[in-house]
Amino acid sequence: MKRLTILISTLLCLPFQIANGQVGQAFELNITNPLTFIQAMDNLNASASGQANNPQVFLRASLANGEMGSTHNIAVVYDSFSSMDVNRTRNATSQDWANFLSIVNDISTPVAEYVFSSTGIDSGNASVVTSANPYILFIQLQVNDPTAYAVASRKLMSSGNNGNIYAHLYQIRGGGPNGPSHIVTQTANSLDDLLGASPNPGFDEFLEEVSGIRTVLGTGVYQQIMAWE
């Protein structure tokens, strides 16, 4: 069974995920005991190692995991890849980190993991999301013309017709040959805001523009349940 050995290089601490210019790692996990996982994260965050680290960590629980197939999603967000390097080095010799892994390896199984970075393309209305427990729709994409897709996405997201949904486009590295090259996140305070809203009036035009350059690999709806910093 694959274990959370790659998590050893990044995870630690955090609050709320709507920042621009983010980089980090995302982990899709099947967690059998969420309360124990949260307690282990709390203990890690309160430890000397946790206090010395600087990422933000967001735990989301699945409402409808679709093709993503995981019970939980974790995002570990840094302000730069150099900050990620510092944490990887520190965690490699941390007893606090080793204690954390000894617990979570017994109650979780990785489904997928990848490195992400913001493209800088978003809807520009992050302030509409005020809930500490927002809902997030993940859309995993395989894009074969990133430049054209970025142009179309920027036009759609910057139209000002996004309602109470904050949208953001991320580039994915390490997704594997059949994994995503990009992920779009749509974040809102409630399920009604996220799933009940009328489509952006420019969405049909957007679909025409990207119909030959991108494939939707999967979708999933999650709710953020914890954040550490």
User: Taking the model in full, what pTM does it have?
Assistant: 0.86
pLDDT in tens, 93-114: 999 999 999 999 999 999 888 9
Q: Give Cβ neighbours of residue 226 (< 8 Å, ≥ 6 apart).
A: 38, 41, 58, 59
pLDDT reported for residue 147: 97
Does domain 6-115 correspond to CATH entry 3.90.1640.10?
no
pLDDT digits (tens, 9 = 90+) for 51-108: 877 789 999 999 998 777 789 999 999 989 999 899 888 888 999 999 999 999 999 9
| Residue 124 CB-half CA count within 13 A | 9
**178 vs 1, which has greater pLDDT?**
178
CA dist list (Å): 32 to 36, 40, 58, 203, 218: 9, 14, 18, 38, 23
Q: CATH for 119-223? A: 3.30.70.100
Please report, as a single letter, which amino acid is at residue 53.
N
Q: Using alpha carbons, list the distances in angstroms from residue 36 to 1, 5, 47, 54.
A: 20, 19, 17, 23
pLDDT tier at 43, thresholds 50, 70, 90: very high
Residue type, 38: I
8 vs 171, higher pLDDT: 171
Helix, strand, coil in percent for the chain, rounding step 5: 30, 35, 35
Tell me how crowded residue 207 is: count the other CB atoms within 10 A of its CB. 13
What's the burial of 76, exposed, middle or buried (CB within 10 Å: 0-12/13-18/19+)?
buried
Which segments of the chain belong to CATH 3.30.70.100? 6-115, 119-223
Convert the pLDDT of each residue in 147-205 to its tens digit. Answer: 999 999 999 999 887 889 999 999 998 877 678 999 999 999 999 999 998 888 899 99
